[in-house]
Structure 1
């Protein structure tokens, strides 16, 4: 099948959503209604037995009640056992869906590498605003939730499914930034060996190209953090995001100067 809602979530994702929903409904039916029907039938059988005179004599009603309880417990256990593989199928389906949606979000992170080209040897002023691509990083997740949010089973929602997708994206964002900063460091070392300064002439902030790149990354990561609350992730306490922010935190010292220059 095609992508979910035409949004390109990956082959078969739409079918997985519907499949998981149907399986979850079947699991719920087994756990609640079917078990209830069986217990109701057993209770009816007990009533018939009493009405037919079965169980007359001392201790017979208690023995019958005990037998009913044991049968009921055995049936409930059997039904619970039957639910286990169904619940496992639902869990697996949503893990695949989460992987596909997160991959779509991660594709937006390719734009991070463009930050280097923006400031390397261009004499552009220091950045004061986040990059335009940041708002689109989690757009595939937002679109998915809008299209299919009402088909997410309660068991999956309770596991903070959206948050799990966000964490995967944050981890990729971190690795992307670390790779970019490694490249920038190599660039600066190469320039230093040639005794070429990458500081832009006439720039009031006096920031090097590497400084500007790091500052842009900080602005982007901060802006990205502001979007996480929508998906149930607290950026002030989320361990993965805290690591991401720490990677670009050294640019905090450039922020005030860049904003002052922008105001002039």
Structure 2
């Protein structure tokens, strides 16, 4: 099974321009860019044949090459990371059985999340795409609810049915629950981890479709697959004591730095 990891990165983020080059201090105070830390996370994944950064920006290309990353230039017309992964795969000549999209704003992604994801897609021939989900504890759920109350998008939640088949993803906190949970208690809400594993045919289909209404409203690229009736597999992963958060807003930088310090990530 041949596996390619693509880290899509663009400079012109609407919520956080220049986000891939944002500097994050680790436990020792060492500062590295977000794209550097995301690349390091990708390189920790076992069983991967190749890791590349896919960008349309010369500043990101130059920064990535300074720490030894392979860079694939893609067009500015890519609407999201999935389209950028598809173009990167084509530019590399294809030939990979599974292409993983490790979005460049998730440097805390544990390697076993991606390893479990790859195994899950490989074992389920009916699924065209797979993505990890992490059950929220009370602390994480309360963080989501506080962010939404303050008008921030703190993360994406996922709802899925039997066999892990995805039903919906939202930037709202779903499913609704009126109950409040202790910090360490499990909840019925699942955090969608911003990683995808695709079969090559799914990527080619995706780029041939236009964005649907739900994708446009939510700003979530994976909804294009659901709107077209394609099966997505949600693979539940375990935190194993690790904290996880994506860098969505400038306000997330100190939160992620605190998490890295707490986990001893240099």
TM-score (norm 1): 0.21
**Greater C-alpha Rg:** 1
Say which structure is richer in helix: 1
Structure with the larger strand share? 2
